[in-house]
């Protein structure tokens, strides 16, 4: 997928859900994975021509795994002239060694978001862009149905009362396959996750389930996304 196509998807999402206002300073959560780096390219490109002026600042929360190499991401941010902050933490040690959590993802997510939100405010941003794409929207809905018994997923725009930050999700209209195509075409320097729980989560289970459903019923994921848009969940009305 070409960058122009990515920008088209992102601009539509930003416009449909009024994600960006004039003068915004937006942090981008960079995990090092394909999704967050695609979002970095997208907002950097959008910034050049979008009628509302905004700035971006990339932020990575380093969980403390020894084999995470962020050098190529540092080089990319220098090339794009994007400010980049790395937050050093001991979250990996706390979750996997000290606490030995049976469900590490929950505690890790809570601690990572806490460190991220604090840093975002310190660097003067009032919004944070997450790299959730269309597949993430549908997977989260399915996880809520299966494990919680409710029809729910995250909103395109979410205001966090406790931190007074606004979360936006500009990749909302992109499929994961689109992201993979973009990353491969432009040789985006993805940093592989060193987390031992990666690929062994409830989300991975639901991802595989949806893949099977979509193979047996082509287009089912798109129909699920449409059902979310046409439903009554808060924040999804265009």
Tell me the domain boundaries of the chain. Answer: 3-230
Q: pTM for this one?
A: 0.92
- Per the listing, tokens 């597949």 go with 135
For residue range 98-135, list pLDDT tens digits in order.
877 777 777 888 888 889 999 999 999 999 999 999 99
For residue range 144-201, list pLDDT tens digits in order.
999 999 999 999 999 999 889 999 999 999 999 999 999 999 999 998 777 776 656 7
pLDDT attached to residue 198: 66
The yes or no reply on domain 3-230 and CATH 3.40.50.2000 is: no
CA distance 224 to 142: 9
Task: Report whether 34 contacts 180 (CB < 8 A).
Answer: yes
Task: Report whether 98 contacts 90 (CB < 8 A).
Answer: no
Q: Burial level of 51, CB count in 10 A (0-12/13-18/19+)?
A: exposed
């Amino acid at each position: 997928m070409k960058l122009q196509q990515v920008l088209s998807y992102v601009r539509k999402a930003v416009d449909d859900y009024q994600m960006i206002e004039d003068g915004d300073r937006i942090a981008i959560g960079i995990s090092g994975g394909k999704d967050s780096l695609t979002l970095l390219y997208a907002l950097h490109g959008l910034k050049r021509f979008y009628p509302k002026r905004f700035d971006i600042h990339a932020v990575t929360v380093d969980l403390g795994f020894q084999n995470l190499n962020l050098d190529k991401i540092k080089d990319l941010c220098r090339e794009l002239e994007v400010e980049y902050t790395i937050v050093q933490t001991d979250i990996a040690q706390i979750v996997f060694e000290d606490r030995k959590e049976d469900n590490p993802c929950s505690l890790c997510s809570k601690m990572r978001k806490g460190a991220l939100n604090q840093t975002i405010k310190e660097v003067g941003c009032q919004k944070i862009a997450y790299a959730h794409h269309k597949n993430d929207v549908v997977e989260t809905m399915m996880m809520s149905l299966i494990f919680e018994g409710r029809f729910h997923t995250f909103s395109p725009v979410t205001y966090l009362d406790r931190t007074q930050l606004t979360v936006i999700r500009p990749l909302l209209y992109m499929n994961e396959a689109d992201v993979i195509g973009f990353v491969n075409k432009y040789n985006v320097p993805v940093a592989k996750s060193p987390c031992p729980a990666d690929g062994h989560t409830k989300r991975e289970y639901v991802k595989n389930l949806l893949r099977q459903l979509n193979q047996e019923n082509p287009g089912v994921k798109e129909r699920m996304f449409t059902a979310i848009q046409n439903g009554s969940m808060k924040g999804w009305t265009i």
